[in-house]
Amino acid sequence: MAKSPDSSNSTTSAADAPKRGLFSRKPKEAKAKKPSQLKQIGEVFKMTRRNDPIVVWLMLLAFLGVVAVSLIVGLLLNNWVTGLIIGIPLGLLAAVFILSRRAERAAFAQIENQPGASGAALGTLRRGWITEDQPVAVNPRTQDAVFRAIGRPGVVLVSEGPSHRVKPLVDAERKKLARILPNVTIHVIESGRGEGQVPISQIAKTMNKYKNELTKVEVGAVSKRISSLGNRLPIPKGIDPYKARPDRKAARGR
């Protein structure tokens, strides 16, 4: 009986494959190499410089200032060499710190006024907060949205859109939460640059200033209670918090 070409090719390839010993390890699959830390810092620097040209001079000023202070202290102690050796690393650290702060500001400037920017800002919160990538209330026509975070201060609703237009969404969500969580404080933050609004770069800072009222256990219980509502909404076209999310690790050069 004649063998098919496919079967002969598979037999040949199997024969050509290198045999593995009984105790030899299985060859590892090649993994994509992560960019080095220096490369990440370089990319962050380029992004920041493109949006904030003054960052170069601020970094240089920070570096030279720290080195100068260390050198002066070293001269006063009759050991300027040690002062210089200590000052250079500290100067570099000061420059990277300036880059980190300006990079975060530049990242927020890039996503400001984009749909989903408020939800992206919630992604920069520190541990202790439970956030959702999707808005909990949204107007598909205007793309006005309300995002939610749960933490020890209670529940925080962050609105995105003009105050007069997004207010009905916020009020409806607040009333719904008040019915199931009568003893939990519900905060409302309006994102934006208008009067009484909070810029997206300051949302996380504003939320962290709220006074703690719940324990960690109670935060989990509140989250489960809200999840039981099952009111997840599909993200409307144009709102993509993943695309708008500023990378905190990249901003810090990690």
Phi then psi for residue 157, to 5 deg, are: -105, 125
- At 175 the pLDDT is 93
Residues contacting residue 68 through CB under 8 Å, at least 6 positions apart:
87
Q: What average pLDDT values come out for the chain (254 residues) when binned by 10 residues?
A: 48 49 51 69 83 89 94 91 92 92 82 82 86 87 91 93 90 92 92 86 90 92 85 46 46 44
- In angstroms, rounded to a whole number, what is the distance separating the alpha carbons of residues 3 and 26? 32
| Residues comprising the chain, all counted | 254
Q: Return the H-helix or E-strand segment holding 190.
A: strand 186-191
- At 110 the pLDDT is 78
- At 25 the pLDDT is 55
Strand, coil or helix: what is 198? Answer: strand
Strand, coil or helix: what is 67? Answer: helix
- At 37 the pLDDT is 76
- At 213 the pLDDT is 92
- At 23 the pLDDT is 44
- At 16 the pLDDT is 52
- At 12 the pLDDT is 47
Sequence letter at residue 23: F
Q: pTM to 2 decimals? A: 0.63
- At 163 the pLDDT is 87
CB environment 235-245: b (16+ within 10 A), e (fewer): bbeebbbeebb
- DSSP 8-state class, residue 193: S
Q: Strands 186-191 and 154-160, how do they pair?
A: parallel
Question: Which among 126, 133, 175, 134 has a CA at the least distance from the CA of 153?
Answer: 126
| Strand ranges in 121-174 using DSSP code E only, listed in sequence order | 130-131, 137-138, 145-151, 154-160
Cβ 108 vs Cβ 246: under 8 Å: yes
- At 90 the pLDDT is 94
Question: Which among 106, 93, 95 has a CA at the least distance from the CA of 61?
Answer: 95
What count of other Cβ atoms lies within 10 Å of the Cβ of residue 73? Answer: 15
